[in-house]
Structure 1
């Protein structure tokens, strides 16, 4: 298989790091963005010819465009871009500060949107490529104590699903990845927690505290296996719009969607009652 070139945001840990390690080991070339270059010094030393690191905060839109433009200009072609940078923020809606909300949206939602938008002219010009957006089954299923995280994931999935239809005529494939719980820093070290209020003690909004404590059991998802499935998806034609990773995530999503469909179907008469009568 010919060497591919990948541009991945957030490669210092989690899925971004796992993807990068597997791709480099397989002989692909990776441009990976980080906020702290020191976290990938080992990869720079081990793969000096195939790993390029870029310092980037995805909340800085001009910097996002500069990195994307430079990558395509320098390397000539990028086969796959992976929008991966993001983090979790837990707490009831009123426990979150305005600053926390603004930064989460700027990172998980706006940052992902601008990264993809910056790559589109280049992918369109080269008449092909693959866009992978790392989302979550939290882009389909909502839990208490995760309102703003879900807002970003529901939002990015709507954006990406629309873009997928816009760019298909240019030979660009788009995939939304929806992982379930995994044993990554995202869950056990990288998650941010609001300044909790006693009013929400013993409330479903604080149920996430048990999930974040490794003493209560580790997540079932294996980051290495999940990364391998993501990489394999690039060879699937046409590109799958969504891939779900994790049996629990799939079961929970199916239950949620079945309930949602049932609720909509129960409103058939209500929906029709707002139409003009036939012929009017």
Structure 2
């Protein structure tokens, strides 16, 4: 039986994962900015689920949630950094008061929640940290640049964290979902207020995608959660976990494009060391 702490349990994959964790009998500290959304879950599993308010941008909230896991269940085995939201708009269109709050949640909130939980996680052999990235964390796309940037940062941070924690027996899993039928394109997505005509051939496609696909995504959230649980339970969990055919297609296209650039420019771009004389030093 594992003890989990999951951020962003009010809706989407966070809620689906919280439900699945509780249903299988694990212990859970479920968090959301408002505990009203957690009432039903806590009432159905009074022995194994605790709910607490956690705004990842608010100092002290993460410490209270970790303390609850320790006092109620004796420790923490799995941290899932799920809280986050998206932003649509060309880079020039975005204003700081629109995109900076997204970085505060998607990146800095994740960092501080992780830093707070690490002392507890390091006490548990085989502990896991699950960081929710996205297919947008694998490859950038026009109109999604700010969101891409926040998720690319999560990817780099997670890769470094995995190296730091591997000798301690703690594993990091970066979950990279494609489109799943949640409220992400609705309540969890904001759009730049300004539209600049110069970007009419690129950025608006992302706005249209939101309007035409909200509530119609092909991915089944329950199946995504089942994959996540299997990865957490695995003796050798993956560092990168794209979920869904679209996420895999994004990853494969990125690898192909990256390899093509490396191969084409290899001979020119690696010839950059100092020329040396016979003594091995620079001329």
TM-score (norm 1): 0.93
Where does residue 155 of structure 2 map in the other structure? 157
1:254 to 246, 252, 269: 252
Q: Distance in 2 between matches of 1:63 and 1:217?
A: 32
Deviation for aligned residue 1:101: 1.9
Equivalent residue for 1:167? Answer: 165
- Distance of 1:43 and 1:36 partners within structure 2: 13
1:59 paired with 2:53, answer no
User: 1:78 aligned to 73, 76, 92, which one?
Assistant: 76
Question: For the residues of structure 2 that align with 1:216 and 1:32, how far apart are their CA atoms?
Answer: 26
Deviations 1:22-54 (A, max 9, x none): 111111111011111111221122112211111
Q: Relative to structure 1, is the Cα distance of residues 266 and 73 closer, same or farther in structure 2, using a 3 angstrom cutoff? A: farther
RMSD, aligned CA: 1.8
CA separation of 1:266/1:68 partners in 2, compared to 1, >3 Å: closer, same or farther?
Answer: same
1:139 deviates by 0.7
Alignment of 1:1-280 (within 5 A): 3-200=1-198, 202-214=200-212, 218-278=216-276, 279-280=280-281
Question: What is the CA distance between 1:162 and its match in structure 2?
Answer: 0.6
Go from structure 1 to structure 2 and tell me whether the alpha carbon gap of 1:40 and 1:111 turns closer, same or farther (over 3 Å shift): same
Shifted more, 182-191 versus 7-16: the winner is 182-191
State whether residues 188 and 214 of structure 1, in contact with CA within 8 Å, keep that contact through their aligned partners in structure 2: no
Unaligned runs of 5+ in 2: none
Shift of 1:272: 2.4
Q: Distance in 1 between matches of 2:271 and 2:104?
A: 40
CA contact (8 A) 1:85 1:107 kept: yes
In the aligned structure 2, how far is the partner of 1:10 from the partner of 1:166?
26
The unaligned stretches of length 5 or more in structure 1 are: none
1:93-127 CA-partner distances (Å, limit 9, x unpaired): 12222112221111000111111111111222334
1:200 Cα deviation from its structure 2 partner: 4.8
Contact 2:182 2:215 survives alignment (8 Å): no
SS in 1 for 2:175: strand
Give the ranges of 4+ consecutive aligned residues of structure 1 lying more than 3 Å apart after TM superposition. Answer: 214-217
Q: Give the drift of 1:5.
A: 1.1
How many aligned positions are there?
278
